[in-house]
Structure 1
């Protein structure tokens, strides 16, 4: 049986963008390494609710709505 089949889990420090930190087990780096995040749940729009509008790049959304907008999918009956 292989003894090297599992990754080496160890404790690291994770530093969020606001400077807060926590310790977790990870395969990142070595024991005691620090992982500095550029994006985290406190600042990213996907978690904060910002920028939830759809961008119409190249008119694709407009073309889709003109072709299939009359189907009424999701409309209240």
Structure 2
């Protein structure tokens, strides 16, 4: 590998939205070595079967944009 062209590869802690902590290594630059994730598999609709609810909400929003009163 060439010297001086690669980013630093440091250990960081990933703090999930439910409080779970995972230690990993990354090239991500963080101030205090902690990355706070807003979305994970416990609260994302794709993973927790709430995808139908999200699709329905999108359809309702699309309908209201087209035909809703202003």
1:37-48 to 2 correspondence within 5 Å? Answer: 37-48=37-48
Q: Which runs of 4+ in 1 moved over 4 A?
A: none
Structure 1, unaligned stretches of length 5 or more? 59-77
Aligned residues: 58
Structure 2, unaligned stretches of length 5 or more? 64-70
Q: Which has the larger radius of gyration?
A: 1
Please provide the CA RMSD for this pair: 2.5
TM-score (norm 1): 0.58
Counterpart contact for 1:12–1:34, Cα < 8 Å: yes
Counterpart in 1 of 2:13?
13
Counterpart in 2 of 1:35?
35
